[in-house]
Amino acid sequence: MKAVLLAALLLGRLAAAWAHGFEPAVLDLNERQPGVFDVTWKPPPGGSAVLAPELPASCRPVARAASPVDDGPRRWRVDCGPEGLAGQRLAVSGLDGVAADAIARIGWVDGRTTVGVLSAGDPSFLVRARGGPGSGAPAHGVVVWRYGWLGVGHIAGGADHLLFVLALLFLVGSRRRLVPTITAFTLAHSLTLGLAVLGFVRVPPAPVEVLIALSIVVVAAELARAPGAPPTLATRRPWVVAFAFGLLHGLGFAGALAAIGLPPDQIPLALLAFNGGVELGQLAFVLVLAAPAAALARVAGARPRLRLVPAYAIGTLATAWVLERLPQLATG
C-alpha cells in the first residue's frame, strides 16, 4: 500500500500541469482609433518559442512590445494605415509544430468584434471589412468544424474532467447504471455551459476550478469506502451526484470557451459545435475505458485491496489540483 501511495503522489506531481492542458494561442487586436490597434499576443504554455503572429505588412509598430515573462502575453501598438485591416490577412506561424490552435479577435472602434480560428491546416484568415456585417465570419460549416474540434481538444486536454468521468465509471460498477449517470453529467454541463456563455450565469473562474477538483476528491472518497459500509447517495443514485457536479464542470467548459471567443454573428452555432465536440470526446473516452474499468471492478471485488488503487490514485491527483488552485482564490 505504501508503494501505491508513493506512485500516486508522483503521478500527482506529473499531472498537476496537465489539468486544463488545452489552451489555444490568442491574438487580440483592439482598435483605439481608425487603423491603430493595441495588440496582445498570448501563446499557449510552451509555445512562445514556436508560434508567432503575422500582421499585414502595412501594420508598423508605434509602441515597442513589452518583454514577456515565460509564456506570458506580449503587448504593443501598430498603425495599419487609413485602410486598417480591411481586406488584409491575419496569420499565426508555427501552428503545424505544436498541438494547438489560435484564436484571432479584432475589437473595432465602433464596438463590433470579429473572431477567427486558426489551425495548422488554415493558419490565416481574411478580414473582409471594418466591423461590417459578417466581417471575417467563417462559413457555417467552417464554424461547426473548427469549434467542434476545439471542443474535442478541450476535453482531451482537460485531465480534471476526464478524471471525474473515470471516477464515475468505477463508481457505477455496471453498464445499466452507466448510461443514466453519464447522461446526467452531459445534461448538467451542457446546461451551465449554455447559460454561462449566453450571459445568464456569471461565476468567477477561480472558485469553479477549485470546486471541480473537489468534486473528483468526493467521488474518489466514495470509491475508497469499505464494501460493507452503509450506502450513500453517490452509491445509490450516482446520476444525481453526476448531475450536481456536472453543473460545476459546465462552468469550467464555459470559462475555456470564453477565453477562446465566439464569432459574434454565429454564437449559437459555435456554442453547439463546441459542446458537441466536448460530448464526442467524452463519449470516445467512455467507450475506450468502460470495459477495462468494469473488468478492474470485478477483479477488485475478489481482491478488496486492489479496489483502493484507483481510489487513491484519483484522489491524490485531485487533491494536488485542489492545493494548486487554492491560491488562485486570493488573486482571482
DSSP letter string over 242-304?
A: HHHHHHHHHHHHHHHHHHH---GGGHHHHHHHHHHHHHHHHHHHHHHHHHHHHHHHHHHHHSG
Q: In the predicted model, is pLDDT for residue 119 greater than 90? A: no
CA distance 302 to 45: 44
Q: Strand 102-107 to strand 60-63: parallel, antiparallel, or no bridges (unpaired)?
A: unpaired
CA distance 260 to 255: 9
Average of per-residue pLDDT across 204-230:
89
Whether the full predicted model's pTM is greater than 0.85, yes or no, is no
Give the model confidence (pLDDT) of 19-62 as tens digits: 444 567 889 999 999 999 999 998 876 656 688 899 999 999 98
Average of per-residue pLDDT across 230-238:
88
CA distance 332 to 100: 25
Q: In the predicted model, is pLDDT for residue 285 greater than 70? A: yes
Instruction: Band the pLDDT of 117: cuts 50, 70, 90.
Output: confident
pLDDT of residue 300: 63
CA distance 8 to 10: 5
Q: In the predicted model, is pLDDT for residue 1 greater than 70? A: no
Secondary structure class of 148 (helix, strand, coil): helix
Which stretch, 60-64, 201-205, 299-303, has highest mean pLDDT?
201-205
CA distance 98 to 86: 29
Give the model confidence (pLDDT) of 145-190 as tens digits: 878 888 888 888 788 899 999 999 888 877 788 889 999 999 999 9
Spatial strand order in the sheet of 102-107: 60-63, 74-79, 36-42, 25-33, 102-107, 113-118
**Mean pLDDT score of the chain:** 80
Instruction: Band the pLDDT of 127: cuts 50, 70, 90.
Output: confident
The pLDDT > 70 percentage for the chain reads 81
For the chain, the domains span 2-20+158-331, 25-137
CA distance 261 to 27: 11
The total of other beta-carbon atoms located within 10 Å of residue 226's CB is 9
- Specify whether the CB–CB gap between 29 and 39 falls below 8 A: yes
